[in-house]
Amino acid sequence: MKVLAADGISPKGIELLQKEFEVDVRDKISAEELLEVIPQYDALMVRSASKVTAEVIGRAEKLKIIGRAGVGVDNIDIPAATAKGIIVINSPGGNTIAATEHTMAMMLAMSRNIPIANETMQKGEWNRKQYVGVELRNKTLGVIGMGRIGSGVAKRAMAFDMNVIAYDPYINEDRAKDLGVTVGTLDDVITQSDFITVHMPLTPDTRGMIGMEQMKKMKRGVRLVNCARGGIIVEEDLAEAVKQGIVAGAAIDVFTSEPVGKDHPLVGVPGIVLTPHLGASTVEAQVGVSLDVSEGILAALKGEPVATAVNMAPVSPQVMKVIAPYLTLAERLGGTVASLAEAPVKKVEVTYNGEITEVNTGMLTTAVIKGLLNPIMENDVNYVNAPGLAKERGIKVTEVKKKEAEDFANLITVKADIGGGKTLTVQGTLFGSEARIVRINKFRVDVDPQARILVCPHINKPGVIGTIGTFLGVHGINISGMQVGKTEVEGTSLMVLTIDHDIPAGVLKDVKGIDGIIDAKLVNFYAI
């Protein structure tokens, strides 16, 4: 078997593969060359430079696996690979230590004024009294997001005798206790912390989650760190907050748009430490991701399970033929639950009705959990790690099969327990080959889960629908479709608007304030 290693893969990974297979190394392969040579290879290793498009995959006559030496898989057409039965893997944990240590380094550098002290020393200056710092000991560190990196930062911070308060929608008390951290709300973290570090994915919900409004609630002298994703902290607000003394300092490794230029709002602001997205840039991390992916390729080519697949776990061709059309639907039902839930999900029951009950639906249940967790997790959730991540967060998952079907030939029902005796139910089916959400709680709907929807329970009275349509139009948000679902509850309806644009948090808040609107939740299927 032959393996193609592109984009400068670490030699350590290549050496591992060379023990078993023939490996061709092409560090700078063009798109045209990749198209030409891909038919002869059983496996492909890339970083971010090579674009593994649907056209490349279409020409891959022998390809069994694509390995991304890193976390992001945006350069790989995963649906095309999945449709052709090609496994796609990445290295979700290969840079965890690097990112964790960089976060600590940024926190220390900022608190002790190391960058500016070095800069002035190199100029021959001696400004010892000017750059008095602060200690980490006995300070409270707020960690927003307790995934692999956030948990690693918390652990290291406690070694510095810091007190750690954490916010994560899906952390449970048992895990928090094991880690030795206090669990709080986002507002708790914002108001109680001396240092705040962000380790969340960039989603519509987290974009701009820390702006001037939040910074004004923080302790005087607070210091912020972002080594996760640019855009979570509003850059313009941070610059202004530091200038005004609202925030004492910041250490930023990631930016809304990269690379940044001299005109960036954070550049040149005293008290802000900047690095050019170095979180994963260590020799060890580059070797680590290379070895991770090489081990995955070895397993796949030997017919063994692959632990880091981002598309699917192996299933028989017969079962895949039946469940494949339902995979996207199942994932987006889970994502809808995540977007509509007002509290962390405690339990999920997935019920199957109809002919689909005759096959193993385990992968569909995993797809539901993947969709549920992916919008709120720092790292990518895949078909392999989704069950473990759910268990880690105390989410109990059960599967029910009922042969009988009423309104639809096949039906998937996702019922989520969100605590306090409250449940959230979403149902979906296929109309031919097209996925549809057909029920949200007690409301019958017909929703195409392919774009963005705004879900608004409202009082059924004249003018409500027209008012919200006009309001969104004023803010430049186009409505491309509308459904109104009714229920047995007299006077209450559910409006579901398919929209073409993201809705800023402020606009969404104003929507909730419209007379007659009970609530408003945005479901962005592009982010699921």
Q: What is the DSSP string of 417-453?
A: E-STT-EEEEEEEEETTEEEEEEETTEEEEE-TTSEE
Q: Is 102 a catalytic residue?
A: no
Segment among 75-84, 163-172, 294-303 with least mean pLDDT: 75-84
- How confident is residue 13, by pLDDT bands cut at 50, 70 and 90? very high
pLDDT at 514 over 70: yes
pLDDT at 306 over 60: yes
Segment among 150-159, 213-222, 498-507 with least mean pLDDT: 498-507
Of the chain, the percentage scoring pLDDT greater than 90 comes to 65
- For residue 312, the model assigns a pLDDT of 65
**Per-residue pLDDT tens digits for 79-111:** 888 777 788 998 877 788 999 999 999 999 999
Q: What average pLDDT does this structure show over 433-448? A: 92
> Is the model more confident about 49 or about 200?
200
pLDDT averaged over the chain?
A: 90
Q: What average pLDDT does this structure show over 277-297? A: 90
133: tokens are: 């710092």
Q: What average pLDDT does this structure show over 275-290? A: 89
- For residue 329, the model assigns a pLDDT of 95
**All domains of the chain, ordered by start, with CATH?**
2-93+285-311 (3.40.50.720), 96-274 (3.40.50.720), 315-441 (3.30.1330.90), 451-528 (3.30.70.260)
- Strongest mean pLDDT among 175-184, 231-240, 465-474: 231-240
Segment among 183-187, 344-348, 404-408 with least mean pLDDT: 404-408
- How confident is residue 145, by pLDDT bands cut at 50, 70 and 90? very high
Of the chain, the percentage scoring pLDDT greater than 70 comes to 96
The residues, ordered by sequence, that sit 6+ positions from 333 with a Cβ below 8 Å of its Cβ are 368, 371, 412, 414, 426, 427, 428, 437, 449
Give the active site residue among 59, 112, 156, 277.
277
Segment among 27-36, 73-82, 480-489 with least mean pLDDT: 480-489
- How confident is residue 389, by pLDDT bands cut at 50, 70 and 90? confident
The residues, ordered by sequence, that sit 6+ positions from 447 with a Cβ below 8 Å of its Cβ are 436, 437, 438, 440, 453, 483, 496, 498
- How confident is residue 510, by pLDDT bands cut at 50, 70 and 90? very high
- For residue 315, the model assigns a pLDDT of 62
Q: Is 258 a catalytic residue?
A: yes
Give the active site residue among 61, 258, 342, 355.
258
**Cis-peptide into 259, omega within 30 deg:** yes
- For residue 380, the model assigns a pLDDT of 61
**Per-residue pLDDT tens digits for 244-270:** 999 999 999 999 988 899 999 999 999
- For residue 317, the model assigns a pLDDT of 63
- For residue 472, the model assigns a pLDDT of 93
Handedness of CA 405, 407, 410, 415 (dihedral sign): negative
Give the active site residue among 148, 229, 393, 452.
229
- For residue 314, the model assigns a pLDDT of 53
- How confident is residue 117, by pLDDT bands cut at 50, 70 and 90? very high
**Per-residue pLDDT tens digits for 362-373:** 889 999 999 999
What are residue 384's phi and psi, to 5 degrees? Answer: -90, -45
Output the CA–CA distances (angstroms, integers) from residue 217 to 107, 121, 212, 246, in the order listed: 21, 36, 9, 9
Q: What average pLDDT does this structure show over 413-421? A: 89
pLDDT at 396 over 90: yes
98: tokens are: 């690097």
pLDDT at 378 over 70: no
- For residue 268, the model assigns a pLDDT of 94
Other CB atoms within a 10 A radius of the CB of residue 34 amount to: 23
- How far does CA 38 lie from the centroid of its chain? 31
**Per-residue pLDDT tens digits for 176-210:** 888 899 999 999 999 999 999 999 888 888 899 99
pLDDT at 320 over 60: yes
